[in-house]
Chain A
Amino acid sequence: DTAVSQTPKYLVTQMGNDKSIKCEQNLGHDTMYWYKQDSKKFLKIMFSYNNKELIINETVPNRFSPKSPDKAHLNLHINSLELGDSAVYFCASSLGQGSGNSPLHFGNGTRLTVT
């Protein structure tokens, strides 16, 4: 199936650990994103890559490091996890060029719980 897929779906870990979330899209899009959705369901942009190049880096702690090995993949590595990092993390992709009506297509999310 054509889609945005991210793994794992659930991630439970202790404070101080380092973890990674992987994302892949086979939609042929050249722009990918990481969004964080907090307990109040507010979706906030963290990072955006276009053709492996970082184009958006919002005010996110340095403990968060995205990596894009190619335009179909955007992984998120988090160092020294803190309780406040608990949230659902969504990967998304869109067409990078052309008209502005290209919607974002979201993965199913990774629910991160830090204990």
Chain B
Amino acid sequence: GQNIDQPTEMTATEGAIVQINCTYQTSGFNGLFWYQQHAGEAPTFLSYNVLDGLEEKGRFSSFLSRSKGYSYLLLKELQMKDSASYLCAVRPDTGRRALTFGSGTRLQVQP
């Protein structure tokens, strides 16, 4: 089976740093993705990790530990527009290609 866990909600202050954690237990592993979804909009791709370590992309970084089944998304210099849901997703199988999603973490950035 596939199980992906994330906190349901988080709150942070504008200008601060926030870390959103994701743990997964899946039948296979061929990459972990982070998506951002604003209310009423489509999910948009943020980052991809397949090897252990940190991937940095501007204000956003994503970390992966395959042995621990763990990832986090780090958002720096938070802006009000970062208020959104953040979805962790795993591609268990390259053949099927579909992503299995966690239920998402709703981040509220406060002034």
A101 at the binding interface (Cβ < 8 Å)? yes
Chain A 95-115 against B: per-residue CB contact (8 Å), 1 yes, 0 no? 010001111111111000000
List of B residues within 8 angstroms of A108 by Cβ? 41-42
List of A residues within 8 angstroms of B68 by Cβ? none
A-B interface contact total, Cβ < 8 Å: 58
Considering only CB atoms and an 8 Å cut-off, how many residues of chain B contact the other chain? 26
List of B residues within 8 angstroms of A50 by Cβ? 97
List of A residues within 8 angstroms of B106 by Cβ? 41
A25 at the binding interface (Cβ < 8 Å)? no
List of A residues within 8 angstroms of B101 by Cβ? 42-44
Which A residues between 51 and 86 are near B, CB-CB below 8 angstroms?
Answer: 55-56
B16 at the binding interface (Cβ < 8 Å)? no
**Contact B42–A109 (Cβ < 8 Å):** yes
**Contact A103–B33 (Cβ < 8 Å):** yes
**Contact B98–A41 (Cβ < 8 Å):** no
The 29 listed contacts between A and B (C-beta, < 8 Å) are: A31-B97, A33-B98, A41-B37, A41-B104, A42-B104, A43-B43, A43-B87, A43-B89, A43-B101, A44-B101, A55-B95, A55-B96, A55-B97, A56-B96, A90-B42, A100-B31, A100-B91, A100-B94, A101-B31, A101-B50, A102-B97, A103-B33, A103-B45, A104-B33, A104-B45, A106-B43, A106-B44, A107-B42, A109-B42
Given contacts A43-B89, A55-B96, 11 further A-B contacts (CB under 8 A): A41-B85, A41-B103, A41-B104, A42-B103, A43-B101, A44-B101, A100-B30, A101-B50, A104-B33, A106-B43, A106-B44
Please give me the 9 A-B residue pairs with the lowest Cβ-Cβ distance, nearest first: A106-B42, A103-B45, A43-B101, A100-B30, A45-B98, A42-B103, A100-B31, A101-B48, A100-B94
Chain B interface (Cβ < 8 Å from any Cβ of A): 30-31, 33, 37, 41-45, 48, 50, 85, 87, 89, 91, 94-101, 103-104, 106
